[in-house]
Amino acid sequence: MVISPLRRKVLRDLRRLGAQALAIALVLAAGVATLILGNGALDALTETRARYYADSRFADVFADLTRAPIALIDEIELIDGVLQAEGRIVKVGLLDLPAMAEPGSVLFVSLPGEGGLNRLHLRRGRMPDPLSADEVVVSEGFADARGLGPGDRLPVLMNGQRRELRLTGTAFSPEFIYALGPGDIMPDPRRFGIVWMPRHGLESAFDLRGSVSSVVAKLVPGANEAAVIEKIDRLLAPYGGAGAEGREDQVSHAFLDAEIKQLGAMVKVLPPIFLLVAAMLVNMTLMRLVALEREQIGLLKAIGYGSRAIAMHYVEFVLAIALAGIAIGLVAGAWLGAGMAQMYARFFSFPFLVFSRDPQVYGLAAVVTLGAAVAGAVRAARSVVALPPAVAMTPPAPVAYRRNGGWLRRLLGLRQTGLMVARHLWRWPLRTGSSVLGIAMAVAILVASLWSFGSIEHMIHVTFGRSERHDAQIVFGDPLPASAAFDARTLPGVMVVEPFRAVTARLSHRNLSRKLTIIGKPPEPHLSRTVAPDLRPMAMPEAGLILSEALAEALDVRPGDLVEVEVLEGPRPVLVLPVSGLSVGYVGLSVAMDIGALNRIMREGAMISGVNLQLDPALQSDFYAAARETPRTGFVGVRELTVNRFRETLADNITIMVTVYVALAGIIAVGVVYNSARIALSEQGRELASLRVLGFTRSEVAGILYRELAAVVLIAQPLGWLIGYAIAQAMVAAFSSDLYRVSLVIGREVFAVASLAVLAAALVSAALIRGRINRLDMIEVLKTRE
């Protein structure tokens, strides 16, 4: 095969400019990798979820109720749009493991019937014998975390009764991909598991013979979900129906959705940054290469090569770099993608993970990257075409500089070498601007990833430091008379008791509505406080509601507005209440009011749903043991465990993400600084060598180049902070959902760390270029014109 001379030149240019080409290729690779990783993970999650939902016949509508006869299911199936309905028993119970001091809970769910909904995917062992009273399957995550397997025993408290269940296997369920325990804000499989057992066992344990406490329904494709929900609600209302909800409000589904939304945001933000920076680098480098090879271009044109062929030659050079970048990016993306899939597998309970190596994603990444690289090459290629051969053959006219900014020079007290730096930067504003923007992007990526640590600490501080200050919370199985608070006071270690009432209700304003739990609190709560946006605790108003900002936004209300409250339990009163104030809150939507006012609305007397407690730390385990024994205890929440789990989970995930981001930002910073340095050196090599001849030392000469880089890097910092702040703001908006609200708290240390990391990368590049400065050939430079 004969390689054309121009193509051979491409290969030699690549070898000669190897390090620069590699730096550009790496930035491109980062773009490709994030594109593949993001899209791959997005596809993996979406695909896996879709396939799993379909395989397991995941329900579309979910409704909890107190108890209803099983015959009601037939009526629900008759509703227009309902394909299939299934009645179940779903109840909370307590774990009674002797090796476990801290309280844990389980959710008992009756096994889906033959051909039923939300089918289990058996991972180990076998399904329970339908006739057995104590055989169960538990969720795989829980079994894993507790080291349980088929044949093991599981002591639990069901409806206050101690029972010992036998595990026959472990399973996954589409309903609990994200298995959140009661009162928790992060899944903690050590302290919360799902226990599936044949329904007759649950019927007898919870005294629900012939009844159901939960209904799930699958809809006909294209059915009107809202209409179905309304009809189901009407049917269930007499049986304590707490309001049916669609899939989008189902906890596990909603959390998965939030994750998918976040990934989607990442895919939109990161790859474009890398591709933009890479295009700028290609542009800078190629413009310089064309300037250096002016005479060669003239010669090629003079001997008869067409402008197009020569321009293509330079584009080919870029394409070669792009292909290298794509190859590296594809491998890195696939590798990181596999790692991310594992992270998901740990976090979400899927029986399988479809990590599709979708050729479309790879193809798209390749095409977009090639496009970015070629776009970067366009300006240089155009200048090649525009160069007339006769002009190209003569050396370029000396670069014309202008005097300006004399005041600035006097202000900075610049010496001549400083002036060289300033004028050189000023002479090519576009290129200087590109370098500044490139570095700024590196800083921005760091700011946009590092802020999350501070925000999470702020969130923890507000939620658990200012607001939920209790050590433990007991939630009763059913509301009890207020005197139950005195019983709680007698438990060992309890120092302060604060009761609360929780009532499920639907809040509506115009056409907006949300189903949630109204919490009734004492007028001046001490342990579970409602906190204003300025973080001051709020007193409960006599009649009105205090909405969290997120809820106020969701309902589009302001203090003073009226909202319709439709209580979904007990006597189900419907009334209109004023919004008395707004509170701050980051987890879920919340609404609080005076417990007395709430009880008056309910017309059931002074009832409480549970108590918040302050404990004597020395007696904590005694308390746990005693609380478990108390028959009325639905479950026990422990603040410390919740906070720890929250921190642990987020720290794990965020640390991984931040590591990836830091590496990516480093690639950008090194790529931009190194390329800028090489270009500056190539342009000013002659001047710098002349200075060496004049008696400037190597350090002084290197200093000139370094000052230029330093100026670019320093100017980029505030810009990077600004862009990073904007990206962080966009991320906050993208991440915020009804489940979570993220507060944008960026401390000074975030900016400092981002800048230091980028400065470190810049220093590495500076060190890489030092050898070339030392080797400047003083003699060569004197003999030749540029």
| C-alpha to C-alpha distance for 712 and 23, rounded to whole angstroms | 18
Nearer to other proteins, 722 or 781 (CB): 781
What is the nearest approach in angstroms of other proteins to the Cβ of residue 782?
A: 5
Q: Give the E-state strand segments of 2-88 in sequence order.
A: 61-69, 82-88
- Among positions 1, 131, 411, 694, the unique one binding other proteins when judged by CB under 8 A: 694
Q: Please, which residue, 490 or 784, has the CB nearer to other proteins?
A: 784
Shortest distance in whole angstroms from residue 13 CB to other proteins: 22
| Binding flag, residue 424, other proteins (CB under 8 A) | yes
Comparing CA positions, the residue from 257, 250, 179, 263 lying closest to residue 214 is 250
Q: Kindly tell me which residue out of 121, 123, 423, 469 binds other proteins, with binding defined by CB under 8 A.
A: 423
What is the rounded distance in angstroms from the CA atom of residue 322 to the CA atom of residue 289? 17
Which residue's CB is nearer to other proteins, number 28 or number 701? Answer: 701
SS3 content of the chain, % helix, strand, coil (to 5): 55, 20, 25
Least spacing, CB of residue 32 vs other proteins, in Å: 38
Query: Site map for other proteins, 64-103, x if CB under 8 A?
Result: ----------------------------------------
DSSP code at position 3: P
Stretch that binds other proteins, among 216-224, 362-370, 486-494, 694-702 (CB under 8 A): 694-702
Choice between 233 and 683, CB closer to other proteins: 683
Min dist CB 428 to other proteins, Å, is: 11
Question: Per-residue x/- mask for other proteins, residues 427 to 466, rule CB under 8 A?
Answer: x---------------------------------------
CB nearer other proteins, residue 54 or residue 782: 782
Q: For 170-225, give the DSSP string.
A: EEE-GGGSS-PPTT-SS--TTTEEEEEE-HHHHHHHTT-TTEEEEEEEEEPTT--H
Give strand pairing partners of 216.
62, 86
- Compute the least distance from the CB of residue 680 to other proteins, in Å: 12
Window 567 to 606, contacts with other proteins (CB under 8 A): none
The torsion angle over the Cα atoms of residues 195, 198, 204 and 205, rounded to 10 degrees, is -10
Point out which residues pair with 297 in neighbouring strands: none
- Helices 251-292, 18-55: axis angle to 10 degrees equals 160
Say whether residue 779 binds other proteins (CB under 8 A). Answer: yes
Give the Cα separation of 388 and 301 in Å (integer): 8
Nearest-approach distance from CB 777 to other proteins, in angstroms = 10
416 touching other proteins, by CB under 8 A = yes
Tell me if 709 contacts other proteins by CB under 8 A: no
Among 687, 703, 710, 738, binds other proteins (CB under 8 A): 687
Residue 392: helix, strand or coil by DSSP? helix
775 lies in the binding site for other proteins (CB under 8 A): no
CB of 775 to other proteins, least distance (A): 12
Sign of CA dihedral 503, 508, 509, 512: positive
Alpha-carbon gap, residue 685 to 702, rounded angstroms? 11
Does residue 420 bind other proteins (CB under 8 A)? yes
Minimum distance of other proteins from residue 712's CB (angstroms): 16
Contact map string, positions 383 to 412, toward other proteins, x by CB under 8 A: --------------xxxxxxx---------
DSSP alpha helices (H): ranges in 56-168? 72-78, 140-146
Q: Using CB under 8 A, which of the segments 269-277, 561-569, 691-699, 709-717 binds other proteins? A: 691-699
- Binding flag, residue 630, other proteins (CB under 8 A): no
Residue 268 sits in the site that holds other proteins (CB under 8 A): no
- DSSP character for 619? G
> Are 678 and 19 a contacting pair, CB within 8 Å?
yes
Q: Where are the alpha helices (DSSP H) in 603-697?
A: 620-629, 639-693
User: Is 524 or 780 the residue whose CB approaches other proteins more closely?
Assistant: 780
Nearer to other proteins, 655 or 774 (CB): 774
Nearest approach, Cβ of residue 683 and other proteins (Å) = 10
Q: Smallest gap, in angstroms, from Cβ of residue 417 to other proteins? A: 7
In the numeric block, the tokens 């342009």 are attached to: 683
Strand pairing report for 545-548 and 591-594: antiparallel
Distance (Å, whole) CA 538 – CA 545: 12
Contact 551, 741 (CB under 8 A): no
Question: How many other CB atoms are found less than 10 A from the CB of residue 307?
Answer: 18
Beta bridge partners, 62, equal: 216, 245
Nearer CB in complex with other proteins: 618/694: 694
Nearest distance in Å: CB 415, other proteins: 6
* Torsion angle in degrees (nearest 10) through CA of 777, 779, 780, 786: 100
What is the separation, in whole angstroms, between the first and last Cα of the chain? 37
How many binding residues for other proteins (CB under 8 A)?
34
Is residue 333 within 8 Å of 35, Cβ to Cβ?
Answer: yes
Instruction: Give the nearer residue to other proteins in terms of CB position, either 704 or 761.
Output: 704
Binding segment toward other proteins, per CB under 8 A, in 53-61, 326-334, 601-609, 683-691: 683-691
Cα dihedral 717→722→725→730 (10° resolution)? -130
> Hey, is 637 helix, strand or coil?
strand
Q: How far apart are CA 634 and CA 638, in angstroms?
A: 14
Nearest distance from C-beta of residue 427 to other proteins, angstroms: 7
Figure out which of the listed residues 57, 199, 692, 741 binds other proteins, where binding follows CB under 8 A.
692
Residue type present at position 267? V
The Cα-based distances of 99 to 92, 146, 224 in angstroms read: 21, 10, 49
Among 693, 733, 752, 756, binds other proteins (CB under 8 A): 693
Among 10, 480, 691, 728, binds other proteins (CB under 8 A): 691
- For residue 537, count other CB atoms closer than 10 A to its CB: 15
698 binds other proteins (CB under 8 A): yes
Work out how close the CB of 268 gets to other proteins at its nearest, in angstroms, rounded to a whole number: 42
- Exactly one of 129, 408, 697, 718 binds other proteins (CB under 8 A); that residue is 697
* DSSP state letter for 159: T
List residues binding other proteins (CB under 8 A). 397-403, 415-417, 419-420, 423-424, 427, 686-687, 690-698, 700, 778-779, 781-785
